[in-house]
């Protein structure tokens, strides 16, 4: 039996409300472009640099909106989530700014830098085995203790918050024709698709070949449940959420895939042309512009550079000799 369609999807008004709610907390990140990057990619590229967002990723937008909604509803208490990376750090800081504590369930093999980030923003880390079951069980335990769960992407407040990046992009470059975002759980692309609905741009999402669960889900007509990701894009390994899938299916023009090696090349290109280090997850969108010229060549394309939380040593390890 297919699950019923979600009836609590945000609409564009919810995204404007989110923007009003969080604008004093989030950075209005810069939109950068460069003629030499354009030349390399064959289109005009406007990079919405969420890698310079607080906590180093767009995730802070959704987290702030979720916490602000709790404040408005006068729901006191600690919050809990699971995350191997940027959402955990984002929720930790968003919670701390509201005088709350965030508890983050993290797989015990999470990167030390991401663990440190959660702690440095005041979050409480709860380690679990690196399986979906262990993670769900640990989160369930925290919720049973009275904590308020905040899902990383399959949550209307999170989707609305992530959509605010696209609103800012529209405000900065109203003449864009296409917007491209990375796709993991789908929070960013679903928020983007909703935010841009009246703008007349086509929205594309990019997932790693080794975590192409959304492409598989679209093919099957429902979200697949069995899935073993294998990709360097550690931010995009999650299975697409139910709400997110619904939005992608109904409102996104295309879901594209890129290989890990294409991401590595895009990381190097972005550093060479823009002097910015990006995570593999962010590199998906740059890689897609190179790989699918029939879709993007000659157009004005906005891309969301989703995050920059990568240690330079890790960046070098991933790009190896490519960057010499």
- Which sequence positions are flagged as catalytic? 59, 84
- Do strands 44-49 and 31-32 pair parallel, antiparallel, or not at all (unpaired)? antiparallel
**Closer residue to its own copies (CB): 51 or 257:** 51
Cβ of residue 246: shortest distance to its own copies, in angstroms? 33
DSSP code for 210: G
Distance CA 158, CA 67 (A): 10
Query: First vs last Cα of the chain: how many Å apart?
Result: 53
Closer residue to its own copies (CB): 30 or 298: 30
52 binds its own copies (CB under 8 A): yes
With CB under 8 A as the contact rule, the residue among 253, 271, 299, 300 that binds its own copies is 271
Residue among 66 and 318 whose Cβ is closer to its own copies = 318
Measured distance CA(214)–CA(217) in Å, rounded: 5
Dist CA 142 CA 80 (whole Å)? 7
Phi/psi at 146 (nearest 5 deg)? Answer: 110, 5
| SS3 call for 312 | helix
How far apart (Å, rounded) are the C-alpha atoms in residues 154 and 9? 10
86 or 257: CB nearest its own copies: 86
Cα separations in angstroms, 36 against 29, 129, 253:
21, 45, 27
Taking the complex as a whole, the smallest distance from the CB of residue 46 to its own copies amounts, in Å, to 12
Q: How many residues bind its own copies (CB under 8 A)?
A: 23
Of the candidate spans 33-41, 58-66, 163-171, 283-291, the one that interacts with its own copies by CB under 8 A turns out to be: 33-41
Instruction: Out of 27, 141, 249, 299, point to the residue binding its own copies (CB under 8 A).
Output: 27
CB of 162 to its own copies, least distance (A): 19
Report how far residue 24's alpha carbon sits from residue 134's, in angstroms, rounded to the nearest whole number. Answer: 37
Closest distance to its own copies from the beta carbon of 175 (Å): 17
For residue 323, state whether it binds its own copies (rule: CB under 8 A): yes
Contact call for residue 34 and its own copies (CB under 8 A)? yes
User: Is 3 one of the binding residues for its own copies (CB under 8 A)?
Assistant: no
Nearer to its own copies, 48 or 291 (CB): 48
Q: How many C-beta atoms lie closer than 10 Å to residue 7's C-beta?
A: 6
Among 43, 79, 277, 289, binds its own copies (CB under 8 A): 277
Confirm or reject binding of residue 275 to its own copies (CB under 8 A): yes
Residue 220 or 275 having the CB closest to its own copies: 275
CA–chain centroid gap for 140, Å, is 24
- Of 30, 77, 130, 293, the one binding its own copies (CB under 8 A) is 30
The gap from C-alpha 58 to its chain's centroid, in whole angstroms, comes to: 6
The answer to whether 99 contacts its own copies (rule: CB under 8 A) is: no
Sort strands 79-82 and 102-107 into parallel, antiparallel or unpaired: parallel
Chain residues 108-167 in contact with its own copies, contact rule CB under 8 A: none
Closest approach, Cβ 45 to its own copies, in A, equals 14
Smallest gap from Cβ 275 to its own copies, in A, equals 4
Q: Are 60 and 93 in contact, with CB atoms under 8 Å apart?
A: yes
DSSP labels, 32-46: E--HHHHHHHTSEEE
32 binds its own copies (CB under 8 A): yes
The answer to whether the beta carbons of residues 301 and 46 sit under 8 Å apart is: yes
Helix (H) or strand (E) holding 301: strand 300-305
In the complex, the residues that contact its own copies under the rule CB under 8 A are: 27, 30, 32, 34-36, 51-52, 54, 56, 271, 274-277, 308-309, 311-313, 315-316, 323
């Amino acid at each position: 039996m297919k699950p019923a369609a979600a009836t609590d999807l945000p609409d564009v008004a919810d995204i404007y409300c989110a923007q009003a709610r969080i604008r004093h907390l989030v950075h209005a990140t810069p939109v950068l472009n460069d003629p030499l990057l354009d030349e390399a990619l064959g289109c005009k590229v406007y990079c919405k640099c969420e890698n310079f967002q607080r906590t180093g990723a767009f995730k802070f937008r959704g987290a702030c909106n979720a916490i602000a909604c709790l404040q408005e509803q006068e729901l006191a208490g600690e919050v809990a989530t699971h995350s191997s990376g940027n959402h955990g750090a984002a929720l930790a800081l968003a919670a701390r700014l509201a005088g709350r504590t965030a508890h983050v369930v993290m797989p015990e093999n999470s990167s030390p830098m991401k663990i440190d980030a959660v702690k440095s923003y005041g979050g409480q880390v709860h380690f679990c085995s690196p399986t979906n079951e262990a993670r769900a069980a640990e989160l369930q335990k925290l919720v049973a203790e009275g904590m308020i769960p905040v899902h990383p992407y399959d949550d209307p407040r999170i989707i609305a918050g992530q959509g605010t990046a696209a609103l800012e992009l529209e405000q900065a470059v109203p003449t864009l024709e296409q917007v491209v975002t990375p796709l993991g759980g789908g929070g960013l692309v679903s928020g983007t698709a909703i935010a841009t609905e009246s703008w007349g741009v086509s929205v594309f999402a990019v997932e790693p070949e080794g975590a192409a669960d959304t492409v598989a889900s679209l093919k099957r007509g429902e979200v697949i449940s069995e899935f073993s990701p294998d990709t360097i894009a550690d931010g995009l390994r999650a299975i697409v959420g139910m709400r997110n899938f619904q939005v992608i299916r109904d409102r996104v023009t295309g879901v594209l895939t890129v290989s890990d090696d294409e991401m590595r090349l895009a990381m190097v290109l972005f550093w060479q042309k823009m002097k910015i280090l990006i995570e593999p997850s962010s590199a998906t969108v740059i890689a897609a512009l190179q790989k699918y010229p029939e879709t993007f060549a000659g157009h004005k394309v906005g891309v969301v550079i989703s995050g920059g939380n990568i240690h330079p040593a890790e960046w070098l390890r991933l790009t190896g000799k490519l960057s010499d």
